[in-house]
Chains A and B, each alone.
Chain A
Amino acid sequence: MSSSTLKHLEFVKRSARALKGGGDKAIEKQIAMGKLTARDRINALMDAHSFHEYDLFVEHRCRDFDMDKKVLPGDGVITGTGTLSGQGVCIYAQDFTVAGGSLGLMHARKITKIMDHAIKMGLPIIGINDSGGARIQEGVDSLAGYGEIFYRNTSASGVVPQISVILGPCAGGAVYSPALTDFVFVVDQISKMFITGPEVIKTVLGEEISMEDLGGARVHTEISGNAHFFARNEVECFHQIKKLMTFLPGNNTKRPIPHAPAPPKPKFNIEQIIPAEPSKPYDVRDIIKAVCDNSDFFEIQERWAANIVIGFARLNGETIGVVGNQPLVLAGVLDVDSSDKAARFIRFCNAFSIPLVTFVDLPGYLPGVDQEHAGVIRHGAKILYAYSEATVPKITVILRKAYGGGYIAMCSRHLRADFVFAWPTAEIAVMGPEGAANIIFRNEIANAPDPAAMRKQKVAEYTQKFANPYVAAAAGHVDAVILPTDTRKFLLHAIQISKQKTESRPRKKHGIPPF
């Protein structure tokens, strides 16, 4: 055999060993847990044959605790580049079959190297997490590795979209990388995220709880709000990621890839969705679907703080970010969680130049001791901050109720909405007619021979005079009162006309949002 053939064979041998990850037994175990292997995950997620792997032959350098005798192929993480829904991306996937996907120095260096690429090249970064945590044998080097990742997550924030996919354990310090990224995907029974696990909680606090109940996919999509997308299995999860990518730009200087414009589906009849009675519920997502292209609304954090709806849609083929009060849940009030949810989404859209469309129908903020003690003042302020700060085109449609502080918060003219449209059913007022009449006409009502009749009369008077869009329109706070059937037309035009929008804010290092 020629020497070049021998070298070729050596390469094939080394590659084959590295590509096997933790070996057949570990792979069998991974599959028995209902999980795909790291490499299969990447191939399932990326466009066919687009993945190019780097750093396959990286090895750890730990000498302590007999680690020098251990070979860890790829050091437990696969990194590379490719395309996803036609968009170039950088990706890494931790390989649980290699030392439990534990994070050592070289493992972290592979991740930070691909993250640096993402920032330099202006490409989204996708991280698939499946790791037992820090590689204890590597000690403080492993902690340093985490820190380097968190630093880059922060540095890349608002520059390139960052997506975390939790497909296994992600515990302790490791959870802070996903927490710093823009979108977190979890899968039922597979994802586990927590700072301190059930064992520590039991020994220290004497409380018993399963991993699933402490930090499973349902917990993070329904209770904590740490994750954005829930899937029943990995394949469904990959479909969600592919769909999300179609709405996103590669970086903060690019626009999302435009799609062919398409009208909404006729089954969403915009005139028949909202009940006339302001205390009756409806699903605001039907309104969104009645105006957006192809009635295709991609909802984010569907299961958490459902009293506000956020997500992406398209108008005339271009991505928009949608925020809408949801009267179906808690009457659509703003509260601690819904404010957090909307504020972060608004900031994402602003960072990536995605126009914002806001649908308003809310009675105000949620009353309650728990809300006040949980800091609804500080949390509620986030939504004001996020809307005021945003300089992307901002279009607001007031569907029905817009009372008090809720009216101001939901991208009102005063927070610099570019266009505020109101339906004839809009009620823009300091509060609901019942409450307002009870305060303004307190004496008249109390002193009347029939207080109940007087109250009814005064509520009717107030409703007639103020529960409409015309007081706000007379002041110029509303730009146009429009018929529901004209909503899409007005939105399409507003988006089109706002394309070259420029708006500046005072120069600063950065603002100080009420985190």
Chain B
Amino acid sequence: MIDTTQIQKLQIEDREYETFFTKKFAGRRHYHPPDPRKILCVIPGVILKIHVHPGKKVLRNDPLLVLEAMKMENIILSPADGRIKAVNVEIGKMVPKGTVLVELE
């Protein structure tokens, strides 16, 4: 017989179904809209160079920093025109994926 103590509710269209969740579904991440002012690290690596400092004005595609990952130097460019609010990394430090590298105002 079905062990009903672990049963969950899943809404499809306008009906709630009684069912079990898969581990993958239970562990899914809720969506957060990206913040275009926060420049995220997409691959873990080491910061080689920092071209900007807080308060500096930047244009779209200006280099912000150089991140070494997978034996390649990746130049991180500004996604938009603006002024630097914060630089959250240091030269020579390892940064994990998902870190906010630089914030624009």
Contacts and interface: CB of A to CB of B under 8 A. Distances in A.
A binds B: yes
A281 B18 contact: yes
Contact of B14 (A282, A337, A366, A438): A438
Interface string A176-212: 0000000000000000000000000000111100000
Nearest to B25: A330
Given A206-B96, A282-B2, A370 B12 contact: no
Given A279-B17, A280-B18, A337 B12 contact: no
Given A205-B44, A370-B29, A279 B15 contact: yes
Nearest to A223: B24
Contacts of B21: 329-330
Interface string B1-22: 0100001001011111111111
A305 B23 CA distance: 10
A337 B23 CA distance: 13
B51 interface: no
Contacts of A222: 23
Interface in B30-64: 31, 43-44
A323 to B, nearest CB: 18
Interface in A355-388: 363-364, 366-370
Contact of A281 (B12, B17, B70, B96): B17
A271 interface: no
A432 interface: yes
A333 interface: yes
Given A206-B94, A279-B16, A434-B15, A330 B22 contact: yes
B13 A435 contact: yes
B90 to A, nearest CB: 16
Contacts of A330: 10, 19-22, 25
A204 B70 contact: yes
B14 A279 contact: no
A327 interface: yes
Contacts of A279: 15-18
A337 B31 CA distance: 19
B32 to A, nearest CB: 10
Interface in A280-314: 280-283, 305-307
Contacts of A328: 2, 19-20
A453 to B, nearest CB: 16
A8 to B, nearest CB: 58
Contacts of B70: 204
Interface of A is mostly: loop
A431 interface: yes
B19 A281 contact: yes
A245 B44 CA distance: 45
A331 to B, nearest CB: 4
Contacts of B22: 305-307, 329-330
A204 B94 CA distance: 10
A223 B7 CA distance: 21
B16 A432 contact: no
Contacts of A283: 2
A363 B44 contact: no
Nearest to B31: A369
Contacts of B25: 330, 366
Contacts of B10: 330-331, 333
B77 to A, nearest CB: 22
Residue picked from A206, A306, A366, most chain B C-beta under 10 Å = A206
A281 B9 CA distance: 11
Contact of A331 (B17, B28, B31, B94): B17
A281 B20 contact: yes
A364 B11 CA distance: 11
A513 B14 CA distance: 33
A281 B2 CA distance: 9
A187 to B, nearest CB: 21
A207 B7 CA distance: 34
Interface string A432-470: 101100100000000000000000000000000000000
30 contacts: A204-B44, A204-B70, A205-B97, A206-B44, A223-B24, A278-B15, A279-B15, A279-B16, A279-B18, A281-B7, A281-B18, A281-B19, A305-B22, A307-B22, A327-B19, A329-B21, A329-B22, A330-B25, A332-B19, A333-B10, A363-B12, A366-B25, A367-B12, A368-B28, A369-B31, A370-B28, A432-B15, A435-B13, A435-B14, A435-B15
Interface of A: 204-207, 222-223, 278-283, 305-307, 327-333, 337, 363-364, 366-370, 403, 431-432, 434-435, 438
The 3 closest A-B pairs by CB, nearest first: A435-B13, A331-B17, A434-B14
Given A330-B25, A333-B10, A364-B12, 13 more contacts: A206-B94, A222-B23, A280-B18, A281-B17, A281-B19, A329-B20, A329-B22, A331-B10, A331-B12, A332-B19, A364-B13, A403-B13, A432-B13
